[in-house]
Amino acid sequence: MSVYDKLKALNITLAAPATPAAAYVMYAQTGNLVFLSGHISKNADGSVNAGLLGRDKTTEQGKAAARAVAVDLIGTLQAAVGGDLNRVKRIVKVMSLVASTPDYTEQHLVTNGCSELLGEVFGDAGKHARSAFGVSSLPLGACVEIELIAEVA
């Protein structure tokens, strides 16, 4: 099953990449590696999904936010590979920042929302190395920010 068949089966429609909010680009490629800038969590209406895990959001809400970020990352990755996600050889690394209270310790479970979707969409090529950090705040008050590195053909 192609990546696009998997996206269709999951009822996922990819949007065009967001416009950078500051002095950076949404992705950069060197050799066969594509580095995607951090993408923040957004609600269905495009507004920022804000709040702190452990205070304003549950782990399940954070996991859903991370899954939504993964959809945005895949959309940006599609633009980076000239519109053909079948060029993705492997998702190499995911780094997740989770806005959370000092005593919150489930950042890894929140990040699973992203990691699990990448596995569903890319299969074995979606298995990746990963870091998940708890931070006191993120741009615009977002609850989750995730960046990604992919190897492409």
Residues 6+ apart with CB under 8 A from 46: none
Distance CA 75, CA 114 (A): 13
Q: Say what percent of the chain tops pLDDT 90.
A: 94
Structure tokens at 117: 């979707």
Instruction: Give the tens place of pLDDT for each residue, 131-150.
Output: 999 999 999 999 999 999 99
Neighbours of 13 (CB within 10 A): 9
pLDDT band at 50 (very low <50, low <70, confident <90, very high): very high
Structure pTM? Answer: 0.96
In contact, 96 and 146? CB cutoff 8 Å:
yes
Digit-coded pLDDT (tens) for 87-130: 999 999 999 999 999 999 999 999 999 999 999 999 999 999 99
What does DSSP assign to residue 20? P
